[in-house]
Amino acid sequence: MFLTHLTCTACGLRHEWSQLQNLCTACQKPLFPVYDLAAVGRVLKREDLVAREKSLWRYREVLPLPPDVEPVSLGEGGTPLLSAKRFGAAAGLTNLWVKDEAQNPTQSFKARGMVVAVSMAKLLGATKLAVPTAGNAGGALAAYAARAGLEAHIFMPRDTPRANIIECRELGANVVLIDGLITDCGAEIAKRKAAEGWFDMSTLKEPYRVEGKKTLGYELAEQMDWTLPDVILYPTGGGTGLIGMWKAFDEMEALGWIGSARPRMFSIQASGCAPIVRAFAAGEKTAEEFPHAHTCASGLRVPKAVGDFLMLNILRASGGGAIAVEDEEMIGITREVGAAEGLFVAPEGAACFVALRKLLAAKKIAAAERVVIFSTGSGIKYLDCYEAS
DSSP string for residues in 258-324: S-S--PEEEEEEETTB-HHHHHHHHT-SS-PPPTT---S-GGG--S--TTHHHHHHHHHHHT-EEEE
pLDDT score of 195 more than 70: yes
Q: For residues 240 and 46, give the distance between their C-alpha atoms in angstroms, rounded to a whole number.
A: 24
Q: What is the pLDDT of residue 215?
A: 98
Per-residue pLDDT tens digits for 288-303 = 999 999 999 999 999 9
Which tens digits make up the pLDDT trace of 243-274?
A: 999 999 999 999 999 999 999 999 999 999 99
> Residue 386 has what pLDDT?
86
CA distance 272 to 384: 18
According to CATH, what is the number of the domain 81-108+208-386? 3.40.50.1100
Is pLDDT at 389 greater than 60 in this prediction? no
- In the predicted structure, residue 369 carries a pLDDT above the cut 60: yes
Mean pLDDT throughout 16-36? 97
Confidence of residue 388 (pLDDT cuts 50, 70, 90): low
User: What is the distance between the alpha carbons of residues 133 and 299, in angstroms, rounded to a whole number?
Assistant: 8
Query: Residue 48 burial by CB count (10 A; 0-12/13-18/19+): exposed, middle or buried?
Result: exposed
Is residue 303 exposed (0-12), middle (13-18) or buried (19+ Cβ within 10 Å)?
buried
Tens digit of pLDDT for each residue in 183-193?
999 999 999 99
pLDDT at position 48: 97
| Run of H or E residues at 381 | none
Domain boundaries, the chain: 81-108+208-386
pTM exceeds 0.95, yes or no: yes
Share of the chain above pLDDT 70, in %: 99
**Is residue 160 pLDDT above 90, yes or no?**
yes
- Residue 327's SS3 state is helix
The model's pLDDT over 198-238, given as tens digits with 9 standing for 90+, comes to 999 999 999 999 999 999 999 999 999 999 999 999 999 99
Burial 49-74 (b: 16+ CB within 10 A, else e): eeeeeebbbbbbbbbbbeeeeebbbb
| pLDDT attached to residue 343 | 98
